[in-house]
Amino acid sequence: MSSISRIRPATIADAALCAALYAPHVRAGTGTFEIEPPDAIEMAARIDRILSRGWPWLVREAADGRLLGFAYAGQFRDRAAYVRTAETSVYVAEGETGRGHGRALMEALLDAARRAGFRTFVAVVGHSANLASVALHRSLGFREVGRLARVGEKFGRRLDVVIMQRDDCTGDGQQPG
Ligand SMILES: CC(C)(COP(=O)(O)OP(=O)(O)OC[C@H]1O[C@@H](n2cnc3c(N)ncnc32)[C@H](O)[C@@H]1OP(=O)(O)O)[C@@H](O)C(=O)NCCC(=O)NCCS
Going from the first residue of the chain to its last (177 residues), give the mean pLDDT of each consecutive group of 10, the final group possibly shorter.
82 98 98 98 98 98 97 98 98 97 98 98 96 98 98 97 92 50
Give the tens place of pLDDT for each residue, 41-66.
999 999 999 999 999 999 999 999 99
Quick check: is 27 in a domain? yes
Quick check: is 176 in a domain? no
Q: Running DSSP on this structure, what letter comes out for residue 168? A: S
Quick check: is 150 in a domain? yes
Quick check: is 174 in a domain? no
Atom of ligand 1 lying closest to residue 124 CA: 48
Q: What does the alpha-carbon distance between residue 150 and residue 135 come to, in Å, rounded to a whole number?
A: 21
Distance 32 CA to ligand 1 centre (A): 14
Q: Running DSSP on this structure, what letter comes out for residue 38? A: -
Distance 132 CA to ligand 1 centre (A): 4
Quick check: is 173 in a domain? no
Phi, psi of 44 (to 5 degrees): -60, -40
Q: 92, 142, 166: which to mutate for ligand 1, most atoms within 8 A of CB?
A: 92
Distance 91 CA to ligand 1 centre (A): 9
**Which pLDDT belongs to residue 4?**
85
How many other CB atoms are there within 10 angstroms of residue 54's CB atom?
Answer: 9
Q: How many domains does the chain have?
A: 1
Quick check: is 21 in a domain? yes
Question: Could you tell me if the CB of 18 is within 6 A of ligand 1?
Answer: no
Q: 97, 130, 142: which to mutate for ligand 1, most atoms within 8 A of CB?
A: 97
Question: Could you tell me if the CB of 140 is within 6 A of ligand 1?
Answer: no
Dihedral, 26, 29, 35, 37 alpha carbons, nearest 10: 10
CA distances (Å), origin 35, targets 23, 28, 38, 154: 10, 9, 9, 7
CA distances (Å), origin 44, targets 16, 19, 52, 133: 8, 9, 12, 25
Quick check: is 149 in a domain? yes
Question: Could you tell me if the CB of 97 is within 6 A of ligand 1?
Answer: yes
Quick check: is 87 in a domain? yes
CATH number of the domain within which 10 lies: 3.40.630.30
Domain that holds residue 33: 5-167
Question: Could you tell me if the CB of 91 is within 6 A of ligand 1?
Answer: yes
Q: Running DSSP on this structure, what letter comes out for residue 13? A: G
